[in-house]
């Protein structure tokens, strides 16, 4: 199947992956965008997993202010200062800090959520499920799904990306990690809202 540049550009716009990666993904999926996105996610996750052990101590601190009422500051790290000045890396940092201002995450990863908060949330969800009258195994699966949804609301890395809800912030970063060839990590962020 012939892959045209418009399709490659469209996939690149949706995923943030490199042009050659998008072309390869479309070729491997016979032009099917959904399969191509899955291919890029798997490739990004595999590349990110390989790089996860590396130190990322360079990077940038960026800020975003919305109408003087909401603001966010983000520290996004890379392995080298060369990548930290790369326009794609800086654009990624700006996209993530804007997402933080809009989506209001509380933590970077589920591992950062204090255990007592997780236990309290499980307790609340279990109380809601008590009347469901379902087998224990089913209740456990439902609880797991509810907790994943909870993490997708409060944890930056698990939130659907505001510019493309088909991917999470984690997917976005994994795609850039694959494209840039270095570990990229959110170190920390802070969000302010007037009056809160």
What 8-state DSSP symbol labels residue 156? Answer: G
Average pLDDT in the 6-21 region? 73
How does residue 48 score in pLDDT terms, banded at 50, 70 and 90?
very low
What CATH number does the domain containing 71 carry?
3.30.479.20
Structural domain includes residue 38: yes
* Residue 47 sits in the same domain as residue 64: no
CA dihedral 138, 141, 146, 148 (to 10 degrees): -170
Residue 26 structural domain: 5-51
Overall number of domains in the chain: 3
Average pLDDT in the 115-132 region? 86
* Residue 18 sits in the same domain as residue 92: no
Structural domain includes residue 68: yes
Q: How many residues does the chain have?
A: 196
Mean pLDDT of the chain: 85
What pLDDT shows up at residue 37? 78
Above 50 in pLDDT, residue 46?
A: no
Average pLDDT in the 92-119 region? 95
Structural domain includes residue 109: no
Structural domain includes residue 20: yes
What pLDDT shows up at residue 94? 97
Structural domain includes residue 159: no
Helix (H, G, I), strand (E, B) or coil at 127: helix
Q: Which helix (H) or strand (E) holds 193?
A: strand 184-193
Distance CA 158, CA 188 (A): 15
What 8-state DSSP symbol labels residue 158? Answer: G
Q: Which residues contact 163 (CB under 8 A, 6 or more apart)?
A: 95, 99
> How would you class 194 by CB atoms within 10 Å of its CB: exposed for 0-12, middle for 13-18, buried for 19 or more?
exposed
* Residue 94 sits in the same domain as residue 129: no
pTM above 0.85, yes or no: no
* Residue 13 sits in the same domain as residue 93: no
How does residue 5 score in pLDDT terms, banded at 50, 70 and 90?
confident
What pLDDT shows up at residue 54? 54
Give the number of other Cβ atoms within 10 Å of residue 33's Cβ: 16
What pLDDT shows up at residue 137? 80
């Amino acid at each position: 199947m012939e892959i045209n540049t418009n399709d490659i550009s469209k996939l690149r716009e949706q995923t943030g992956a490199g042009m050659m990666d998008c072309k390869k993904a479309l070729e491997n999926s016979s032009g099917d965008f959904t399969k191509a996105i899955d291919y890029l996610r798997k490739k990004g996750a595999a590349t990110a997993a390989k790089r996860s052990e590396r130190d990322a101590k360079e990077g940038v601190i960026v800020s975003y202010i919305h109408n003087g009422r909401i603001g966010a500051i983000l520290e996004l790290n890379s392995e080298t200062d060369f990548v930290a000045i790369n326009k794609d890396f800086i654009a990624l940092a700006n996209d993530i800090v804007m997402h933080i201002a809009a989506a209001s995450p509380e933590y970077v990863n589920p591992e950062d959520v204090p255990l007592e908060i997780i236990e309290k949330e499980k307790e609340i969800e279990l109380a809601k499920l008590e009347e469901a009258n379902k087998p224990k195994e089913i209740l456990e699966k439902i609880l797991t799904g509810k907790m994943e949804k909870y993490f997708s609301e409060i944890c930056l890395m698990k939130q659907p990306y505001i510019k493309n809800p088909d991917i999470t912030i984690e997917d976005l970063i994994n795609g850039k990690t694959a494209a840039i060839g270095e570990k990229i990590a959110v170190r920390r962020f802070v969000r302010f809202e007037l009056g809160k």
